[in-house]
Amino acid sequence: MMIAAPSVVVFGSLHYDIIVKGPHRPRKGETVTGSAWHPKCGGKGGNQAVSAARHGVKSAMIGAVANDSFGHALRANLDMHGVGTQAVRTVPGAGSGMSVAIFDADGDYGAVIVSGSNFALGEEDVSAAAELFVGGSVLVLQNEVRDAANVLAAQAMKKAGGRVVLNAAPARTPSPELSALVDVVVVNAVEAEELAEVPEVNSLDTALAAARILAKHYPAAVVTAGGDGVAFVQADGYAAKVPAIKVTLVSTHGAGDEFTGVLAAELARGSTLEHAIRAGNAAAARLVSSPHA
């Protein structure tokens, strides 16, 4: 049976997150007494697919989970948010992907991820989801799966006439094969420093400078600078800085994924890149200021 093609296809990671709240993130050898913990369904891929669906655009996830409690929860979360899961494969062997994120009193965090079943993604998954790669759709990729798997998915979408958005997170320089297939690269300050090989991105001006370097290699480069805002440069030379929306910060967790998911949804609707960035910026501001995000 044919599956109606979505506007946003996310190929990538699904992680079951354990969120821990403490006074600060522990230093080497330090034990910190936390105040609370709770589980959350995530992974950059899963978060971005949910964000696109919540933004009112049809989306589907291509991912891999194990036959364990984490995998069942991850699949159920996508279903609950209206994300297509026909291309989410259950694989034997390694457990589902998971992460532990430790938050400090200011709402900032550090995390450790265990990729598990996410590293099983590859040619089998791209072939099985062939009907999702169609002209007009937007493919979203991240760096939480193997570069070679991302290349296969990007090739399939470009062949079909769609566009490719790469959220190059965590920081990892894409292979030349992948870079050549990307239409829009999205990075935060830390990732921009590595990919653009600049010493520091700590303002909108330095974010714009990094975006100019990245735009030499991609049709469009978007650099998010946290509480300062977003800068972007297109290959045609158009550049702009979008200031952050001032809010009371509750937690930064998931802000980048919310931004990327909404940006992709707007691009799928036919919006300009600048409009998509402004929509993603507003969505991320709502997320970081919401105690129930």
Per-residue pLDDT of the chain (293 residues; tens, 9 = 90+): 344 567 999 999 999 999 999 999 998 999 999 999 999 999 999 999 999 999 999 999 999 999 999 999 999 999 999 999 999 999 998 899 999 989 898 878 888 889 999 999 999 999 999 999 999 999 999 999 999 999 999 999 999 999 999 999 999 999 999 999 999 999 999 999 999 999 999 999 999 999 999 999 999 999 999 889 999 999 999 999 999 888 877 766 778 999 999 999 999 999 999 999 999 999 998 887 876 55
Phi, psi (deg, nearest 5) at residue 201: -120, 105
The answer to the question of residue 74 being in a domain is yes
The tokens of 292 are what? Answer: 């129930």
The answer to the question of residue 83 being in a domain is yes
The answer to the question of residue 258 being in a domain is yes
The answer to the question of residue 207 being in a domain is no
Helix axes 44-54, 255-268, angle to 10 degrees: 50
The answer to the question of residue 208 being in a domain is no
The pLDDT value given to residue 292: 59
The pLDDT value given to residue 63: 98
CATH number for the domain harbouring residue 156? 3.40.1190.20
Q: Is 257 a catalytic residue?
A: yes
- Give the count of domains, the chain: 1
Cβ–Cβ < 8 Å for 163, 157: yes
Q: Which of 17, 125, 183, 257 is catalytic?
A: 257
**Could you tell me the residue range of the domain that residue 256 belongs to?**
11-26+35-182+245-288
C-alpha span between 268 and 262 (Å, rounded): 10
The answer to the question of residue 4 being in a domain is no
User: Taking the complete model, does pTM exceed 0.85, yes or no?
Assistant: yes
The answer to the question of residue 253 being in a domain is yes
C-alpha span between 223 and 168 (Å, rounded): 11
The answer to the question of residue 266 being in a domain is yes
